[in-house]
Amino acid sequence: MAKVVKIDETECIGCETCVELCPEVFALDDAGEKAQVIKPDAVDTDCVEESIESCPVECITIEDE
């Protein structure tokens, strides 16, 4: 089963840390309130790991699709 990057949007506080660290994978939603994963298959990207470690509410995960 393929792994994908996920964000728990109910937990996300929209701090933009992941968007700044890894703009090719994360972007803010249209309202600018929550981050979204725009490239879910980027599980091996270094900045995804960095974002997981840096997210203040730990809502970024890598899970089975």
Give the binding site for ligand SF4 (CB under 6 A).
Answer: 7, 12-18, 35, 55-57, 59-60
DSSP state letter for 36: E
- Report in angstroms how near the CB of residue 14 gets to ligand SF4 at its nearest: 5
Comparison of 48 and 55: residue with beta carbon closer to ligand SF4: 55
Q: Least distance from C-beta 1 to ligand SF4, angstroms?
A: 23
Q: What are the E-state strand segments in 1-65? A: 3-7, 26-28, 35-37, 60-64
CA dihedral over 39, 42, 43, 47, signed as positive or negative: negative
The residue among 1 and 54 lying less far from ligand SF4, judged by its C-beta, is 54
